[in-house]
């Protein structure tokens, strides 16, 4: 069996580091009354710490396991326990993951931040913080900004895992810039009645042409028939006269409609149109979008 005194330097070396890491991970302040030195563990306490350290190690509670290993590595414990606990203490120190924090505001590092790890505040996050393997919730707050939250996974043996929290001030939203309104213009819009009268005029001219052609055709036929029989009755002339009459009426209505359209068009009033105003600026208050808006009074 190895001399227990051979492990004293090793135990002393890891004690300070492990106690510091455990205090950050647990985030619990030690009361002033508990600062007084405690009595060295007896044999039963050493055996219990030796057993608990192994169970905690199997449950991936490496920090808690190391606390127990510090107890069973005490000088008052049996030499065989000191040998086991010293060896395991070295192994767990290599397997215990750690995280480091980086907080930036507008691209510059800052120490004016509040850091929480698994809902427990970290007083000094300027150095590496040892944690147990597994998932951990991180929350970083800086005054004037929305909190930064992240869920990270620390694996066994992963040292100095970087957690970077970036805070940026929102860019100011540019106020819309109103462009100079266009001067008022005087216009003479064409009334809808002009288009209606033009339609009637075109229809009347077409009706005149159609019925006049039909009447002319009937007239030529009657001329030939009357030469043969040397007499045409009023009944024979009636269809021709009717077609000519319809054509004359259609032509008159069309001509009147065209004259009316001309009168309405040339006597239409002059109106003053409302200017259209434009504005250039961000869309929906977002600094990343840009657009031009127009407004017109009707």
One domain for residues 89 and 65: yes
One domain for residues 45 and 154: no
Q: Is the pLDDT of residue 73 over 80?
A: yes
Do the strands 98-105 and 120-122 form a parallel or antiparallel pair, or are they unpaired? unpaired
In a domain, 34, yes or no: no
One domain for residues 154 and 277: no
One domain for residues 285 and 174: yes
What's the whole-model pTM score? 0.48
Q: Is the pLDDT of residue 1 over 90?
A: no
Q: Is the pLDDT of residue 16 over 50?
A: no
**CATH classification at residue 133:** 2.60.40.1120
Decide if 75 contacts 6 (C-beta within 8 A).
Answer: no
In a domain, 35, yes or no: no
Decide if 76 contacts 54 (C-beta within 8 A).
Answer: no
In a domain, 222, yes or no: yes
Instruction: Return phi, psi of residue 182, to 5°.
Output: -70, 145
One domain for residues 122 and 232: no
In a domain, 79, yes or no: yes
One domain for residues 21 and 75: yes
pLDDT at position 8 is: 42
In a domain, 33, yes or no: no
Number of domains in the chain: 4
One domain for residues 204 and 239: yes
Measured CA to CA, the distance from residue 121 to residue 154 in angstroms comes to 18
One domain for residues 83 and 17: yes
Decide if 281 contacts 176 (C-beta within 8 A).
Answer: yes
One domain for residues 161 and 237: no
Domain range for 83 is 4-28+40-95
pLDDT in tens, 210-256: 878 887 787 777 777 676 665 677 776 778 778 778 878 877 887 88
Measured CA to CA, the distance from residue 106 to residue 119 in angstroms comes to 26
Which tokens belong to 241?
């006269």
One domain for residues 104 and 178: no
One domain for residues 205 and 260: yes
pLDDT in tens, 167-209: 998 777 666 666 666 666 777 788 888 788 888 878 878 888 8
One domain for residues 177 and 276: yes
């Amino acid at each position: 069996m190895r001399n227990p005194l051979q492990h004293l330097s090793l135990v002393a070396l890891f004690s300070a580091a492990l106690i510091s890491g455990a205090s950050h991970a647990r985030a619990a302040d030690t009361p002033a009354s508990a600062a007084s030195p405690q009595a060295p563990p007896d044999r039963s306490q050493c055996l219990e710490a030796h057993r608990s350290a192994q169970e905690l190690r199997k449950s991936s509670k490496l920090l808690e396991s190391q606390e127990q290993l510090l107890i069973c590595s005490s000088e008052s414990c049996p030499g065989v326990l000191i040998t086991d606990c010293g060896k395991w203490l070295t192994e767990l120190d290599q397997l215990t993951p750690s995280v480091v924090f980086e907080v930036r505001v507008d691209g510059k590092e800052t120490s004016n931040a509040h850091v929480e790890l698994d809902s427990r505040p970290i007083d000094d996050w300027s150095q590496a913080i040892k944690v147990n393997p597994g998932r951990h919730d991180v929350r970083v707050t800086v005054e004037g900004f929305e909190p930064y939250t992240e869920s990270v996974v620390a694996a066994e043996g992963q040292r100095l895992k970087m957690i970077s929290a970036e805070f940026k001030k929102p860019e100011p939203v540019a106020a819309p810039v109103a462009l100079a309104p266009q001067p008022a213009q005087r216009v003479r819009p064409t009334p809808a009645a002009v288009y209606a009268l033009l339609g009637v005029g075109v229809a009347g001219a077409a009706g005149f042409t159609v019925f006049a052609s039909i009447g002319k055709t009937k007239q030529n036929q009657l001329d030939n028939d009357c030469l043969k029989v040397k007499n045409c009755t009023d009944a024979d002339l009636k269809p021709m006269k009717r077609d000519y009459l319809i054509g004359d009426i259609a032509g008159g209505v069309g001509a009147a409609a065209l004259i009316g359209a001309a009168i309405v068009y040339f006597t239409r009033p002059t109106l003053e149109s409302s200017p259209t105003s434009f504005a250039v600026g961000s869309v929906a208050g977002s600094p990343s979008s840009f657009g031009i808006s127009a407004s017109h009074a009707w």
